[in-house]
Structure 1
């Protein structure tokens, strides 16, 4: 192996390492941004949960209507057709009409 080809290989390797270093820096920044967003969303979620609990405690132990609406928002059917089963295909017109009636 001659010195020139060895030098070219080392130069190519150095260039690839530099590119990987830049890519690693970009990934680290994206991870940092995601961590910050996750913390913000956790705080926001906690705030909404506390706000929701505050509303429930102000109105008493929560009405049946509030409980059914909460169950529906959590992804379960509240209609008499599929009561208690998991909603897998988006909104259910039966459940929505039941919520609007009461």
Structure 2
């Protein structure tokens, strides 16, 4: 194989890899969009459950709903609200401490 043929073969191989990477990137972007949409919906549901969606009065049972969500592994603090917890969260714990003390 001549050096020109070798370079041509290398270019074709490189082009195929670039196309494959582009395809993978499009799949990842689509998955990210879907996850972001799902995250937005979950945040809206949590906000509604807590009574923050448009009105200033807490929804009936909002604290119980928040506690249930926290027990299911979601953050309920304002720092990470709606994200999945992998460990205990000091901010969420501080929120519960304030609620136990009377909402100060």
Class of the TM-score when normalised by the shorter of the 2 chains: 0.5 to 0.7
Aligned position for 2:7: 9
Quick check: which has more Rg, 1 or 2? 1
Q: Distance in 1 between matches of 2:94 and 2:21?
A: 51
Aligned position for 1:49: 47
Q: Distance in 2 between matches of 1:50 and 1:9?
A: 61
Tell me the TM-score normalized by structure 2: 0.54
Where does structure 1 lack aligned partners over 5 or more consecutive residues? 60-72, 76-89
Q: Distance in 1 between matches of 2:10 and 2:21?
A: 17
Q: Distance in 2 between matches of 1:44 and 1:16?
A: 41
Aligned position for 1:100: 100
Q: CA RMSD in A?
A: 3.3
Moved over 2 A (4+): 90-102
Which has a greater percent of helix?
Answer: 1
Tell me the TM-score normalized by structure 1: 0.55
Where does structure 2 lack aligned partners over 5 or more consecutive residues? 62-76, 80-88
